[in-house]
Amino acid sequence: MWLLTDSDREKDDHDVVVDSRPLGLVLLSRSYRWFAFIGLGLLFWILLSLPTPSGLTVDGQRALAAFVICLILWLTRLIPLAVTSLLAITLIQLLGVMESGEAFALFGNQAVFFILGAFIFAAALMKTGLSSRIALFFLSKFGGSPKQLLLGALIVPAFLSFWMPEHAVAAMLFPIIIEIVRALGTKPRTGNFGHAIFLSLAWGAAIGGVGTFLGGARNALAVGILRQTTGQFIGFFEWMVAVVPMVFAMLIIAYFVINRFFPTDIDSVDQAVEVLKERNKQMGRPSIEERMVGFIMLLTVAAWIFLGSAVELASIAIVAVVSLFVFQLVKWRDLEEYVNWGIILMYGGAIALGFALEDTGAAAWLAQVLITRWTTSPIIIIIVLAFISILLTEGMSNAAVVAMLVPVGLGIADTHGIDPRIIVFAIAVPAGLGFAIPMGNPPNAIAYSSGYIDPKRMLKVGLLLDLCAWVVFVAMAKYYWPLINIRI
Amino acid sequence: MIFLFALSTSIQAPESIEMALDFTKEKEATLRVLFVLDSSVPGTIFERLTDIGFIGEKPSQELEDAVSTEYKNQALQQLSEIEELAKTKSVNCEVMLEQGDFVECTLAAIAKYTVDTLIISRAKQSALSRLLVGSAVDKLVRRSPCEIKLFEA
């Protein structure tokens, strides 16, 4: 066996490559972006030029035009999501929907700073190695049998996704799971155990990510839009009380679904246990930095839970971040490496667009046209919103789903006297539960990139889990939430 | 006669391996098996992750490295299995691993080893999807200077 190098290749720079497809298709495949942008420009102009429909203000029409353009861009990803958000904030002030100062000020929304704080904290957890240590500690407790290991691969990412972004959890655990499957000799794409363990990783992280504001930043984004448009708020603890039981229910269902459709094809996980032991050994004793970050994390979460009603969540997050620097636990360079600053643009723009839709009455008008014309039953509206949210999140970024649906949902709440907090739950929670499409959410994409997952099998089982998530969500909304004073 | 069987990270067709070996044996040729670690595959995934998941540069890079290493391991394993299978079928077979663009690497290997027949496989894809999106295999079919044997899995 040998490896060719670039220098071995004899390339002829004068090669002429002939594309033999029909000319129209060649032109279309090479210039579709420009056609798309021209089409978008035309659509924008048409939306602005149409007579204003009854029940909608001129400002509302303009906000809707900006919304439609951003929606298409979020969906097609012709430009990065964060850049689309920048465009949103620019369009609404250029169209006169909002004063420029007011529009740009929405980048300073509390939710944006809370999310930023959460990402910085996750960076500290990863940088010090504390997150890996916790993951390895808990995973090594599940080494009794293949089924136990699968349970661990599902529960550990779910638990970690309560405290750090779900995609960061999946990324951190990925090399450990790779090492485990290699040690067990699982075959890519054909082996059941390979499928099962990578899907456990992805689905566990996704399910855990709906449990708190930290796992899925979209949750904080949804609450940010709620607060900006209605003045109402959902606290850190309040969110957990409402959603964590669903997390447990979904973990149990996911475990049985995975075992049913990917029955284990290995007898022993002794080699995996060895891998975990070796990894644990390499970690050595916890460093002072790890202990300090753990301690600050515990204090911060306690403050979010117990002081969240009195002190701004974003302020608590920022104090925690500052203390990381006071104790020299992270350096600014670490943050630059671990934090994607595009998130500020994405979420700031989404909140501004949501506010513009609500403020101009466009959200209420859109809600009337799309949903409440057909039904006024609150439970049906919740069921439909949850369904649309799950469906959309399979094809687009879950943050974009929240940015798109929450303003419309709040419009419905406004016109039908539904508690707007329920609308936020009905959209943000299902938006994190896309299980079927590899590119549907980051944990799915990370697991799929391993090469161990057959996308057809993932689609089949993932759709079943999507359906289960929808049913469980509706059951929670109908039977559990009234017990905690959230009434539809 | 020299046959070249081209495989890549995104082209998985286990049944075609046996077909390629049988075909080579039937024609009493020598089979060179080229596995191309297509660098664009993890690249595309992580570009998307950065965009939709807002994953930081360092974790993204670490993840990409882990995926690339895994792809290399999987490729080496597959090549070693092909070598074993070729031995049992008494087929004269040599394997090679390369990193880069699937089409370019395959064309370079065709030129370097004066290949008579290129053997490739592809997953079933609708004609419309192939026309619009195109595929690496289609590009090879258009550009290959030698005869092509195509297995559709």
ipTM over 0.90: no
The first and second tokens of residue B103, run together, are 């089409």
Alpha-carbon span A125 to B5, nearest angstrom: 46
Structural contact between residues A73 and A79, judged by C-beta atoms closer than 8 angstroms = yes
Residue with tokens 């643009």: A345
Q: Which residues of A touch B127 (CB under 8 A)?
A: none
Q: What is the overall mean pLDDT for chain A?
A: 87
Q: Which helix (H) or strand (E) holds A155?
A: helix A146-160
pLDDT of A6 higher than 60: no
Q: Provide the H-helix boundaries in A339-480.
A: 342-359, 362-367, 378-393, 398-416, 420-431, 442-448, 455-475
Is residue B63 situated within a structural domain?
Answer: no
Alpha-carbon span A391 to A458, nearest angstrom: 16
CA distance B71 to chain A (A): 7
Facing residue for A9 by CB, picked from B70, B76, B108: B108
Residue type present at position A378: P
Starting at the edge strand that comes first in sequence, how are the strands of the sheet with B2-8 ordered?
A2-3, B93-100, B30-38, B2-8, B117-122, B147-152
Is residue B10 situated within a structural domain?
Answer: yes
User: What string of DSSP letters covers B70-102?
Assistant: HHHHHHHHHHHHHHHHHHHTT--EEEEEEEE-H
Is residue B129 situated within a structural domain?
Answer: yes
CA distance B49 to chain A (A): 6
Q: Which residues of B touch A189 (CB under 8 A)?
A: 12
CATH number at residue B90: 3.40.50.620
**Res B128: pLDDT:** 54
Considering only CA atoms, which of B92, B89, B108, B142 is closest in space to residue B34?
B108
Beta-bridged to residue B150, according to DSSP, are B120
**Res A486: pLDDT:** 84
- At A344, is the secondary structure helix, strand, or coil? helix
Alpha-carbon span A112 to A331, nearest angstrom: 21
Cβ of B67 within 8 Å of Cβ of A17? The answer is: no
Is residue B124 situated within a structural domain?
Answer: yes
Pairing state of beta strands B147-152 and B30-38? unpaired
pLDDT of A279 higher than 90: no
Cβ of B55 within 8 Å of Cβ of A342? The answer is: no
pLDDT of A372 higher than 80: no
Is residue B142 situated within a structural domain?
Answer: yes
pLDDT of A11 higher than 80: no
Is residue B53 situated within a structural domain?
Answer: no
**Res A282: pLDDT:** 87
Whether B62 contacts chain A with CB within 8 A: yes
User: Measured at the alpha carbon of residue A101, what is the angle toward residues A98 and A236, in degrees to the nearest 5?
Assistant: 85
Per residue in A44-72, pLDDT (tens digit) is: 999 999 999 988 899 999 999 999 999 89
Is residue B110 situated within a structural domain?
Answer: yes
- Average pLDDT, integer, range B55-70: 83
- Suggest the residue from B17, B52, B112 to mutate for an interface test with chain A (most A CBs closer than 10 A): B52
- Average pLDDT, integer, range B98-108: 88
CA distance A168 to chain B (A): 7
Number of structural domains in chain B:
1
pLDDT of A15 higher than 60: no
pLDDT of A428 higher than 70: yes
CA distance A8 to chain B (A): 9
Q: Which of residues 111-130 of B touch A (CB under 8 A)?
A: 111-112
Is residue B136 situated within a structural domain?
Answer: yes
- Residue B19 domain boundaries: 2-39+79-152
The first and second tokens of residue B55, run together, are 């994953």
User: Measured at the alpha carbon of residue B28, what is the angle toward residues B27 and B34, in degrees to the nearest 5?
Assistant: 85
